[in-house]
Amino acid sequence: MLDPKKHKQYRIRPVSCYRFASHLLSAPIGLNEVVPLSRTCVVAIVRNDLGKPHFHVIMGIEKGENLLLDANGQWRGGAHIPKFLQRYPFIPIEHPGDPEKFSVGVDSTCADFNTTEGQPLFQQYEEGPTQVVKDVIAQLQAFNAQTLAGARLCEELAELDLLEPQTASIQFDHVASERRLDGLMIVNEAKFCALPDETLAKWTRCGATAVILAHLQSLPNFSRFLTLRAS
Q: Does the predicted model carry a pTM greater than 0.95?
A: no
Residue 183 has pLDDT above 80, yes or no: yes
Domains in the chain, number:
1
More confident residue, 13 or 100: 13
Q: What is the pLDDT of residue 227?
A: 86
Q: Is residue 6 part of a domain?
A: no
Q: Is residue 2 part of a domain?
A: no
In a domain, 32, yes or no: yes
Mean pLDDT score across all residues of the chain: 91
Residue 12 contacts residue 113 (beta carbons within 8 Å): yes
> Would you call 161 exposed, middle or buried from its count of C-beta atoms within 10 A (0-12, 13-18, 19+)?
exposed
Cα distances from 4 to residues 138, 166, 196, in angstroms, run 17, 45, 53
Instruction: Say yes or no to pLDDT of 199 above 90.
Output: yes
Within 10 angstroms of residue 148's Cβ, the number of other Cβ atoms is 14
176 confidence band (pLDDT: 50, 70, 90)? very low
Determine, yes or no, domain membership for 22. yes
For residue 143, is pLDDT > 70?
Answer: yes
Is 91 among the domain residues? Answer: yes
pLDDT at residue 126 greater than cutoff 50: yes
Report the pLDDT value the prediction gives residue 182, as an integer from 0 to 100. 80
pLDDT at residue 92 greater than cutoff 80 = yes
User: Higher pLDDT residue, 126 or 117?
Assistant: 117
